[in-house]
Amino acid sequence: MQRDAGQQALNAHDGPWDFIVIGGGATGLGTAIEAAARGYDTLLLEQHDFAKATSSRSTKLVHGGVRYLQQGNISLVLEALKERGRLQKNAPHLVHNLAFVVPNYDWWEGPFYGIGMKVYDMLAGRQNFGRSKHLSLDETLEHLPTIEPKGLRGGVIYYDGQFDDARLAVNMAQTFVEQGGTALNYMKVTDLLKADDGYVNGVVAECQETGTTMNIEARAVINATGIFTDSIRKMDDPTVSNTLRPAQGTHIVLDRSFLPGEAAIMIPKTDDGRVLFAIPWNDRVVVGTTDEEVDGPEMEPVPMQKELDFLVEHAGRYLTKDPTPDDVLSVFAGIRPLVTDPTNPGSGDTSEISRDHVLHISNNGLVTISGGKWTTYRQMAEDTIDQAATLANVEERPSVTADLHIHGWHEHAEQFGDFSKYGSDAPALKGLVRENPELNEQLDERLPVRAVQVVWGVRHEMARSVEDILSRRTRSLLLDAQASIDIAPKVAELMANEMGQDQAWQDEQVEAFTEVANGYKMPT
């Protein structure tokens, strides 16, 4: 999958596309796959890189949503549990089981949460990832050797899914292209085209690398831009009210020694009512998340000091090894595209806003899909294309994505070691290393990144910048912000050799990445 091939396909395309999908995050990629897999002529446009914003900044969970069960949203839980099972089946190289332990410090917590998890098991049915059960004090400590033992009575264990969000997004872009679609990152939609009757029939898009602008026609345009949903809606109708209430969720990343076991910790209710997770991920520990309302969408949201203080304090409250700010390897924040009641958009706490998705078709025919969550992206996409196909007046065809394997599908990818997340692509990466042994170089002892991954990202995963490689093709920026800054010059050199770029390009890339990466370092 190369960007140049996508640009050539766009330039050579004759006539209107069946669908143009705006947005290369989870929702946009899923919608594009849904359309292409049904045989529709589909173009996907992303203003930056795939999963640049919210979709690469999740808590790394594929889950039914225990909290939504507590809120009484049974339909969302059922939908998410069904989609969780499908996602594990269709991307086993990236989605796997993870045990979660709810530690009990009060006498009532064991029975209370134990009953709740049994309901969760029951709703999952045959797609359950594992049966929940009560744990004794000793069993809880066995699963969580660094949990705070003072006052601990036992725990409840349940099972959910874990994944690598940005890697899944990249594989989804590859899947879309394999289904016959055309994908372009760094192609920003700046306006909508309209027919004489006002009907939306295309987009104006600007290439962010060359500055070239194109008018591109389509039978239907789908707005799947997540936190930027309202900006596209206002291109259609400047008078519409905002439908999103953006809420920021922040995480901190710690060394694995803080949680050395194989299970995650789930605190269902902290002092202020938030759910808190401490999760083993990529030989690190991710602690999160927060829920703070923010003014608007940001491509690079900055964690608030009060969020970071909350996470460090609560990590210390539940772990025997109390982290200090100096122990934090990286911090990252994402903004949730929460859809509000348009008749009362400012009501309620953002943590109480539903994670259901909303599909809307404007009077001018702009299709907007918003809200939802990573786990349910496929169902959101199916609902969207069902409606958009009628609007576009194309032949209606059934969905086939419930059983569609995502690129990289491999049932036993763990055998590939460091390259396991590449799934079926791993043998090709190993082949590159055999041909060029120097590509086996580990770029920094603090990071599990080898030179071959940089080369592969450029050749086959549409990586265009150092940030694309270090943030999303590998997860270096989230694993250790300072280490990623330190290897940026080497990554730029490797990319420049592949892309035919000069030293000035390398210097610009390192400077741009360093500016972004500094926002991932814990403030001193």
User: Which residue reads 């990529």 in tokens?
Assistant: 282
Whether 329 shows a pLDDT value over 80: the answer reads yes
Q: What percent of the chain has pLDDT over 90?
A: 81
Residue range 413-520 in CATH 2.60.40.10: no
- Residue 137: left (phi > 0), alpha (psi -120 to 50), or beta? alpha
CA distance linking residue 366 with residue 185, whole number of Å: 21
- Residue 135: left (phi > 0), alpha (psi -120 to 50), or beta? beta
Is residue 426 within 8 Å of 396, Cβ to Cβ? no
3-state secondary structure of 488: helix
Whether 193 shows a pLDDT value over 50: the answer reads yes
Mean pLDDT of the chain, nearest integer: 92
Quick one: pLDDT at residue 352?
46
pTM above 0.85, yes or no: yes
Taking alpha carbons only, the member of 138, 66, 126, 129 closest to residue 92 is 129
CA distance linking residue 489 with residue 502, whole number of Å: 13
User: pLDDT per residue over 357-409, tens digit each?
Assistant: 899 999 999 999 999 899 999 999 999 999 999 999 999 999 999 999 999 99
CA distance linking residue 29 with residue 13, whole number of Å: 20
Is residue 161 within 8 Å of 62, Cβ to Cβ? yes
Query: One-letter amino acid identity for 446?
Result: R
Tokens of 523: 């403030």
User: Which stretches does DSSP call E strand in 283-435?
Assistant: 284-288, 292-293, 330-339, 357-361, 367-371
Whether 343 shows a pLDDT value over 50: the answer reads no
The CA-atom distances, in angstroms, between 91 and each of 67, 95, 165 are 25, 6, 12
79 band by pLDDT with thresholds 50, 70 and 90: confident
3-state secondary structure of 3: helix
Tokens of 181: 């679609």
CA distance linking residue 368 with residue 243, whole number of Å: 11
Tokens of 7: 């640009």
CA distance linking residue 315 with residue 321, whole number of Å: 9
Quick one: pLDDT at residue 270?
79
CATH 3.30.9.10 maps onto the chain at 97-164+245-339
Is residue 100 within 8 Å of 113, Cβ to Cβ? no
Strand partners, 48: none
Taking alpha carbons only, the member of 337, 315, 317 closest to residue 325 is 315
Task: Supply the CATH classification number for the domain 3-54+166-243+354-403.
Answer: 3.50.50.60
Across 262-287, average pLDDT = 90
3-state secondary structure of 205: strand
Whether 227 shows a pLDDT value over 80: the answer reads yes
Q: Cα–chain-centroid distance for residue 112?
A: 32
- Exposure of 346 in the CB half-sphere (CA atoms within 13 A): 2
Tokens of 300: 């690079």
Residues 314, 317, 319, 325, CA torsion sign: positive
Quick one: pLDDT at residue 355?
58
Return the number of other C-beta atoms located less than 10 Å from residue 441's C-beta. Answer: 13
Is residue 452 within 8 Å of 440, Cβ to Cβ? yes
CA distance linking residue 412 with residue 424, whole number of Å: 9
296 secondary structure, DSSP code: S
CA distance linking residue 449 with residue 413, whole number of Å: 17
Q: Bigger pLDDT: 107 or 217?
A: 217
| Domain formed by 97-164+245-339, architecture | 2-Layer Sandwich (3.30)
Whether 513 shows a pLDDT value over 80: the answer reads yes
User: pLDDT per residue over 457-480, tens digit each?
Assistant: 999 999 999 999 999 999 999 999
Whether 84 shows a pLDDT value over 80: the answer reads yes
CA distance linking residue 435 with residue 446, whole number of Å: 26
Query: One-letter amino acid identity for 66?
Result: V
Quick one: pLDDT at residue 97?
93
3-state secondary structure of 152: coil
Q: What percent of the chain is helix, strand and coil (3-state, nearest 5)?
A: 45, 25, 35
Tokens of 24: 């290369």
Query: One-letter amino acid identity for 145?
Result: P
CATH 1.10.8.870 maps onto the chain at 413-520
Whether 228 shows a pLDDT value over 80: the answer reads yes
The CA-atom distances, in angstroms, between 114 and each of 68, 131, 271, 367 are 16, 11, 21, 42
Q: What are phi and psi of 71, to 5 degrees?
A: -80, -10
